[in-house]
């Protein structure tokens, strides 16, 4: 039982459902001029598997490459605690990546063109994952932009022929900015300095502008698309207003606030997806995403409760009130 729990923990199974929701959202949209999905059951299953395995691959690779650091700072995690060995995680990472690419290959068979776009996008995502874990995470703002790109490209795998980039734009911006804020509050290394923040904002703004230009050139920005964008825009306003309040909430430790911002930010992805479908009028699709969100939340808390018995190496802090 402990090995299974460790396996679920290293793959972040509950949070992997956020990637599945992103992919399904574009597949569930009612897009004018787009032909209906030919074989919805097979395509939805394959798209879910591709995105799920890609996310799990990224998380397993992250823990694998950070295993030495975790022995010092997080010895309760699956690898340093001895519940999973390094060779086992190496094999797991390779298997997850191959399963993701295989699922994307099968998904490409359903595409109306001969070029395997879904497989190409899955390969791009896998390469971005490797780059981030091997190098990008140590390059400050470059790492945050890379994380945003992983999300932005991943959501297109299920229906790459749709050319719908609105969700990609919101997911990219959300992940890049939210991760940077959390990173700075948690005082992670290397430190994110003010110059890095400005470079991040410039990079995010440039890529967002590039996506908008692509949509303009393709004639994709229509009245219906602007209506669809109102849902995610409202979610972004609410989330970042809450984040601003968390930043200036000096009653809690910055590290705790940073962790909360990142966790809420990940679950907020479901809100982006559901609000987009609601604005699009796809209320059945919105219900599917909300059910998936409920499953993800329940799975997350169930795994957290199951992991409470694992106390090896966990730090036990006792904070005393400052004496006046």
Contact 285, 25 (CB under 8 A): yes
Average pLDDT over residues 12-36: 92
User: What pLDDT, on the 0 to 100 scale, is given for residue 33?
Assistant: 76
Q: Please give the Cα distance from 171 to 149 (Å, whole number).
A: 9
Structure confidence at residue 324 as a pLDDT band (50, 70, 90) = very low
Does residue 314 sit within a domain? no
User: What pLDDT, on the 0 to 100 scale, is given for residue 15?
Assistant: 96
Phi-psi map region of 33: left, alpha, beta (phi>0 left; psi -120 to 50 alpha): left
Average pLDDT of the residues of the chain? 91
Average pLDDT over residues 128-154: 96
Q: Is the pLDDT of residue 312 over 70?
A: no
Q: Is the pLDDT of residue 315 over 70?
A: no
Q: Which residue has the higher pLDDT, 316 or 191?
A: 191
Does residue 271 sit within a domain? yes
Owning domain of residue 101: 2-30+39-309
At what angle are helices 166-185 and 194-217 packed, to 10 degrees?
A: 180
Average pLDDT over residues 312-318: 43
Does residue 214 sit within a domain? yes
Q: Please give the Cα distance from 320 to 153 (Å, whole number).
A: 46
User: What pLDDT, on the 0 to 100 scale, is given for residue 70?
Assistant: 87
Exposed, middle or buried by CB within 10 Å (0-12, 13-18, 19+), for 245?
Answer: exposed
Average pLDDT over residues 190-209: 94
pTM of the model: 0.92
User: What pLDDT, on the 0 to 100 scale, is given for residue 152?
Assistant: 97
User: What pLDDT, on the 0 to 100 scale, is given for residue 319?
Assistant: 35
Average pLDDT over residues 163-178: 96
Stated as kind and residue range, the H or E segment containing 223 is helix 223-247
User: What pLDDT, on the 0 to 100 scale, is given for residue 310?
Assistant: 55
Does residue 23 sit within a domain? yes
Does residue 323 sit within a domain? no
User: What pLDDT, on the 0 to 100 scale, is given for residue 256?
Assistant: 94
Q: Please give the Cα distance from 217 to 224 (Å, whole number).
A: 17
Q: How many domains does the chain have?
A: 1
Average pLDDT over residues 234-246: 97
User: What pLDDT, on the 0 to 100 scale, is given for residue 165?
Assistant: 94
Does residue 272 sit within a domain? yes
Does residue 87 sit within a domain? yes
Q: Is the pLDDT of residue 317 over 60?
A: no
Tell me: the pLDDT tens digits for 173-187? Answer: 999 999 999 999 998
**Furthest-apart CA pair in the chain: how many Å?**
73
Contact 26, 155 (CB under 8 A): yes
N- to C-terminal Cα distance for the chain?
49
Does residue 319 sit within a domain? no
Average pLDDT over residues 129-147: 95
Average pLDDT over residues 249-274: 95
């Amino acid at each position: 039982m402990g090995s299974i729990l460790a396996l679920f923990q290293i793959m972040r199974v509950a949070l992997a459902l956020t990637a599945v929701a992103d992919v399904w959202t574009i597949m569930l949209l009612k897009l004018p001029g787009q032909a209906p999905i030919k074989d919805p059951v097979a395509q939805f299953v394959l798209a879910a598997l591709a995105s799920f395995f890609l996310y799990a691959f990224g998380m397993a690779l992250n823990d694998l490459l950070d295993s030495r650091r975790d022995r010092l700072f997080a010895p309760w995690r699956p690898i340093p605690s001895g519940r999973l060995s390094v060779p086992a995680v190496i094999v797991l990472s390779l298997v997850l990546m191959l399963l993701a690419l295989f699922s994307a290959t099968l998904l490409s068979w359903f595409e109306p063109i001969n070029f395997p776009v879904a497989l190409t996008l899955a390969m791009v995502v896998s390469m971005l994952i490797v780059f981030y874990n091997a190098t990008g995470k140590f390059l400050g703002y470059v790492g945050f932009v890379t994380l945003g790109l992983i999300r932005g490209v991943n959501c297109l795998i299920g229906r790459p022929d749709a050319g719908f980039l609105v969700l990609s734009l919101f997911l990219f911006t959300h992940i890049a900015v939210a991760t940077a804020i959390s990173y700075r509050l948690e005082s992670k290394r290397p430190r994110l300095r003010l110059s890095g923040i400005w470079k991040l904002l410039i990079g995010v703004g440039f890529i967002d502008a590039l996506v908008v230009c692509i949509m303009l050139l393709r004639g994709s920005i229509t009245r219906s698309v602007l209506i669809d964008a109102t849902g995610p825009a409202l979610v972004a306003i609410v989330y970042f207003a809450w984040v601003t309040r968390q930043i200036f909430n000096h009653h809690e430790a910055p590290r705790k606030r940073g962790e909360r911002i990142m966790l809420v930010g990940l679950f907020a992805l479901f809100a982006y997806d559901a609000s987009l479908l609601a604005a699009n009028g796809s209320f059945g699709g919105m219900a599917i995403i909300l059910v998936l969100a409920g499953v993800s939340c329940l799975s997350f808390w169930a795994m957290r409760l199951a992991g409470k018995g694992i106390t090896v190496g966990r730090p036990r802090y006792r904070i005393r009130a400052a004496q006046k």
